[in-house]
Structure 1
């Protein structure tokens, strides 16, 4: 049964050792007929939590406008 695989590459540069390792893992997963998505975190904007409690107390989406 095929699985969905999510790879989060946190390498500071494309083609670095960690990114290459992610690519090799992805190649193996694809060869095993799994569905694979790779996200390069350096391309994303993610802000720190400010502790405003909007998500936990008021059960509303985070007010920060980022990719998280």
Structure 2
């Protein structure tokens, strides 16, 4: 990734692809989406990804960072 903003743009693109394709109405509803883990929900499969790096770009407070990521997405 070239820079932080580009990384976040790629994360958003990946999360929004299933929504734009009409597979789900919200990225967190896709069972295999990493978005679920970022939003504090049970991801599938478990323990595959470390969410802290991206979430800390929004805030050091977990609850605030999740809300900010949701707004960004």
**TM-score of the pair, normalised by structure 1:** 0.32
**TM-score of the pair, normalised by structure 2:** 0.30
**Structure having the larger proportion of residues in helix:** 2
**Structure having the larger proportion of residues in strand:** 1
